[in-house]
Copies of this chain bind each other. A is one copy, B any other.
Amino acid sequence: MEPVFNLKSLPERLRSLGKRVTVAVACPADSHTEEVVERSIREEIADFILVAVAGKEAVAKRLLADYPEHVVIIDAEDDDDAARKAVWEVHEGRAQVLMKGTINTDNLLRAVLNKERGILIKGSVLTHIAIAETPQLPHLLFFSDAAVIPYPTYEQFDAIVGYITDTFRSITGKAVPRVALTHCTEKVSEKFPLTLSYEQIKADAANKKYGEVEIAGPMDVKTACDAESGALKGISSPVVGNADILVMPDIEAGNTFYKTLTLFGGATIAGMLAGTTVPVVVTSRADSADSKFYSLAAACLKALR
């Protein structure tokens, strides 16, 4: 099958698999969530279990009335109850993707991380994966972590690289991701302990810990994405100028990259949480409608692979 090079082709790719994912939504009560659910049903990429909070069921009821074959409603007392019940649907295998509706991310994450009834993989680390479609690059650019882990340790970088290479393969269909370990310079030094973690990650990669990958760094974002910059610096590797995946040195760099790509680079970015038994979609108010829809589509594709 052709690799996926942009977000627009995600729904088509999903339909071609001939299976439909069920998504559990915690408290779908705002127009943005409503729009994403409706578009997903119309584009035939998902069915929904809507966990609706008492007094905020109007959106869920409207969706059930219009799409009775694709929607089920579960009642909840309040936001925390909605989060618990949506997570439980995943826990019991009735949903393959979890999506945040009109509740705070903290409420949802408390339920996700709950030791007995949550869905964090045992011994695993929660991370965020972003997938950017930009006018400048001919392929999707994955990066992590822009939202969860402040300053990753070696163990956390290891988890980040494991999840994002896995997710990259599921979503794009490409077997060998090119991974850039990003940092403000090319130097490895004790002054920046993260560069020592990067050295260990490269050794792990050489031992096939992450399957087939091309991995290089430290290098800056421009060197990773622009062949000319690499040439000027005299750096050459299959990754330089061609990165599919950027591992960000910390959350400040990750968040800055996310926001700058969107605002100044005209990018559309989809995102999901990883480290859980199923992909979790946690979009924010500032995301565009397209970004929210593609986040759900990417999560569904990940869930099916």
With both chains docked as a complex, state the minimum distance between the C-beta of A219 and any C-beta of chain B, in angstroms: 10
Closest CB in chain B relative to A71 CB, distance in Å? 28
In the complex, chain A residues 112-158 whose Cβ is within 8 Å of any chain B Cβ:
134, 136, 146-147, 150
Closest to A252 in B: B253
- Do the beta carbons of A256 and B259 come within 8 Å of each other? no
**B150 contacts A191, C-beta separation under 8 Å:** yes
Interface residues of A in 177-195 (CB under 8 A from B): 182-184, 191-192
Known contacts A249-B252, A263-B226; A286/B233 CB under 8 A: yes
Q: Does A232 count as interface, using CB distance less than 8 angstroms?
A: yes
In Å, the complex CA distance between A225 and B146 comes to 19
Q: Counting CB contacts under 8 A, is A40 at the interface?
A: no
In chain A, residues 209-262, which have Cβ atoms closer than 8 Å to a Cβ of chain B? 220-222, 225-226, 229, 232-233, 248-257, 259-262
Q: Count identical subunits in the complex.
A: 2
Give A245-294 interface residues, CB cut-off 8 Å to B: 248-257, 259-265, 267, 285-286
Choose one: B182, B263, B267; the contact of A221 (CB below 8 Å). B263
Q: In the complex the two chains form, is A136's CB within 8 Å of B222's CB? A: no
The 3 residue pairs across chains A and B that have the minimum distance between CB atoms = A264-B265, A184-B255, A222-B259
Query: 8 more A-B contacts (CB under 8 A) besides A229-B286, A256-B260?
Result: A136-B263, A221-B259, A222-B262, A249-B252, A250-B252, A252-B253, A260-B260, A260-B261
**Contacts A/B (CB < 8 Å), 20 sampled:** A134-B264, A136-B263, A136-B264, A183-B252, A184-B255, A184-B256, A220-B256, A221-B255, A221-B259, A222-B286, A232-B286, A233-B286, A248-B252, A250-B253, A252-B253, A253-B255, A256-B256, A260-B261, A260-B265, A265-B265
